[in-house]
């Protein structure tokens, strides 16, 4: 895929996200065919939940209060992580990777202090690895996604306070 096609795809996805917002839709799914074995499948949704694509063997749990891995000592287990003031949300639809390569240490762990601009994780979208930087300095309080899991646009990734 050349750079021009990649830029056109990014613009197309941004237009879909804007269409979703302008028409107060919760989800929009589009398949764009380029050639026989070349297509782009895009699903844009709102609501702050993490879901797996239809082809995945099992859906990921929503990172909300129903997540069974949340510790019992969490101060606000019923609160939506997307509404937390320290929430870092996904700027795109894709697959999350918490380390730079398989077997390497994770970029960050719960309790780590991060500086603004530090890489928190990678989101693979359209075969491109996108480093997601910390929007502000602080301490990683919660990681809300699983390595290798799918994320939607606007889904909360982690909490930094």
pTM higher than 0.75, yes or no? no
Q: What is the dihedral of CA 69, 70, 72, 78, to 10 degrees?
A: -130
Please report the pLDDT score of residue 49 as a whole number. Answer: 46
Give me the CATH topology for the region 50-160: OB fold (Dihydrolipoamide Acetyltransferase, E2P) (2.40.50)
Please report the pLDDT score of residue 65 as a whole number. Answer: 45
Give SS3 for 81: helix
Q: Give the integer Cα–Cα distance in Å for 59 and 75.
A: 27
Could you tell me the mean pLDDT of each successive run of 10 residues in the chain, 161 residues long? 64 76 74 74 66 45 44 51 83 93 91 93 92 92 91 91 91
Q: Where in the chain is the domain with CATH 2.40.50.100?
A: 50-160
Please report the pLDDT score of residue 120 as a whole number. Answer: 93
């Amino acid at each position: 895929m050349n750079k021009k096609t990649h830029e056109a795809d990014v613009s197309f996805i941004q237009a879909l996200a804007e269409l979703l917002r302008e028409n107060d839709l919760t989800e929009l799914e589009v398949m764009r065919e380029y050639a026989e074995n070349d297509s782009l499948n895009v699903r844009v949704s709102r609501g702050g939940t993490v879901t797996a694509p239809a082809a995945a063997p099992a859906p990921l749990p929503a990172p909300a209060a129903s997540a069974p891995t949340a510790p019992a000592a969490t101060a606000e287990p019923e609160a939506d992580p997307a509404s937390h003031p320290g929430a870092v949300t996904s700027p795109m639809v894709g697959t999350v990777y918490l380390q730079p390569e398989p077997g390497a240490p994770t970029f960050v762990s719960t309790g780590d202090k991060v500086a603004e601009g530090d890489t928190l994780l990678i989101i693979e979208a359209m075969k491109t690895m996108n480093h997601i930087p910390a929007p502000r300095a602080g301490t990683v309080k919660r990681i809300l996604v699983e390595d290798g899991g799918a994320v939607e646009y606007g889904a909360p990734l982690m909490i930094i306070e």
